[in-house]
Every structure is written in C-alpha cells, then in structure tokens.
A = this chain, B = another copy of it.
Amino acid sequence: MATIEEVGGEGRRARQRRATMRELKVASLDEVREHGAAGLRVRSVARRVGMSAAGVYRYVSSREELLTILIADGYHDLADHLRLAGRGEEEGRPPDSPVTDRPAPVVSTRAPAAGDVAERARAVALAYRRWAIDHPNEFALLFGDPIPGYAAPAEGPTTQGMRRVGAAFAEPLLAAWREERLRVHRALSSLELGEALAPMTDDAVGLGGSGIPPAVHALLLTTWGRVHGQVTLEVFGHHDWIFPAGCEPLFEAEVEALLTDLGLLPEPAQ
C-alpha cells in the first residue's frame, strides 16, 4: 500500500508535531502571562501540555528558545494591534506565523480613527499603551531586561517582528509626511545619520521604500521613544508612588502635546 493520502501537503506526523508545538507555545505564553518571563518553568509548561519535561526538548532546544519564540510572537501581536488601531493596509501577519492562539486584536475602545492622520497617530500611541497595560508581562518580555549576553540574530524572527512594530507605529506619521503635514523638528534636520538606519521601514513592511529622509527617520525614532518612555515608566511601576490613581490623563495629555509638536494638531493660541 502506498503512502496514505496526505492532507494539506504534509503527513499526519508533521501535522501532529505542529499541533503540539502550538500547544507548547500556548502553555508557555500562559505561564509568562501569569508568572512573568523569569517565572517560566519548563516543567510547568510540560505539565500543562501533559508531557514530561524531557519531552519538551524534542521541540525546543532550551528554555531560552521558548522565550525567544514568545518574544517574536509578542512583537507580531503588538504590531497587529498597532496596525489595527492605525488602520494600516497590511492584512495581518502571514497566516502560518501567528503560532500562538491569541485573541484577535479588537478595536480600541477609543475612537475608530479612520480619517485624519492625527487621529490615526493618536490611536496608535494609545494602542501602544493599552497593549502594554493589558499584557504587562509580555511587555516586560519584549522591552524589559535583555538577556545579558544575548543578541538577537540579525535577521531572526524577533528582529522582523520588531520591524513590524516600528513600521506600524510609524505608519500614520509617514502618511502625514507624505501629505507634507509633518513638522520635523529643526534639531533633527541637521542630523547626518547616514545609511545606518535605513532598514527600519524598508523591505517587506510595505511602507514604500527608502525615500524617507534621515530627519524624518530620526523623528520616527524619537517619537517612538517619547511614547515608549512614558509607557515603560508606567507599566514597570515607576509612577505608582506618584499616581496612585493611575496616570492615564498624563499620558493622554502628553500624546496631545506630542501631536501638536509634530504639527498634526493646531497650535493652541498662546
């Protein structure tokens, strides 16, 4: 008897393997959500999927690889949320990539942000914070302590995910720039960053090539940093002793300030 007719181009063994691989990721993600990255125990993951601890190593070479996978996945999830909030055109990640079963990103409670570029930029910034607050342990996994010796492989999945995050964050700003509505700060104009930062929005992200001048590129990065700084301080608890009631108003005000600095909101009368 010849080989059993394969379903979907792969034998049932490969199918099974991918299924338990996904199980492992889901279990790991749950563990991280519950106990943080440092609290991820290989034995717990194994127990969750009904395996022995040793069995896990048939699928993953080390605990660190498990974390790396979660990191890459986390970037993609965050990027999806940002894209959705900013109404980018790219239709999600490639369908075989979202290996972890995450709930599909839901439109933020805030405004739909369909039209104006300022609204879209605001929506993205708020979505960034929203995701961080809703997934603090994953946020810490992505942006917290780096593994001391570890550097992400230059073109590994984590770097690609990160690129998608950057692109999703930058998209409304780039749209504003195309409409010539983006005010680039003078201090950045004189910057000569050379070709070093070209890769951020190029290739495969669908933002339209490398016609972006360095000053705009720099502006994207500083804008991201401005939002990220605020979010990091809040999510990591460094504002707890200042804002027992939560610092959402401060963040939203800072976003408004940021948008006006970018020239996307009318300058208020002095």
Residues of chain A at the chain B interface (Cβ within 8 Å): 35-39, 137, 140, 143-146, 148, 151-152, 154, 159, 162-163, 185-188, 190-194, 196-197, 199-200, 218, 221-222, 224-230, 232-233, 236-245, 247, 249-250, 253-254, 256-257, 260-261, 268, 270
Number of copies: 2
For the complex of A and B, list the 7 residue pairs with the smallest distance between their C-beta atoms, beginning with the closest.
A229-B229, A187-B256, A144-B145, A225-B229, A187-B257, A36-B148, A225-B230
Measured between beta carbons, the chain B residues less than 8 angstroms from A240 are 151
A143 B232 Cβ-Cβ under 8 A: yes
Q: How far apart are the CA atoms of A228 and B268 in the complex, in Å?
A: 27
Q: How far apart are the CA atoms of A244 and B200 in the complex, in Å?
A: 12
Minimum CB–CB distance from A265 to chain B (whole Å) comes to 8
**A–B complex contacts, Cβ < 8 Å, 30 sampled:** A36-B148, A143-B236, A143-B238, A144-B144, A146-B237, A152-B237, A152-B241, A185-B257, A185-B260, A186-B257, A186-B270, A187-B257, A187-B260, A188-B257, A190-B253, A191-B250, A191-B253, A194-B245, A199-B242, A218-B250, A221-B242, A221-B250, A222-B257, A224-B233, A226-B229, A228-B233, A229-B229, A229-B230, A229-B232, A232-B232
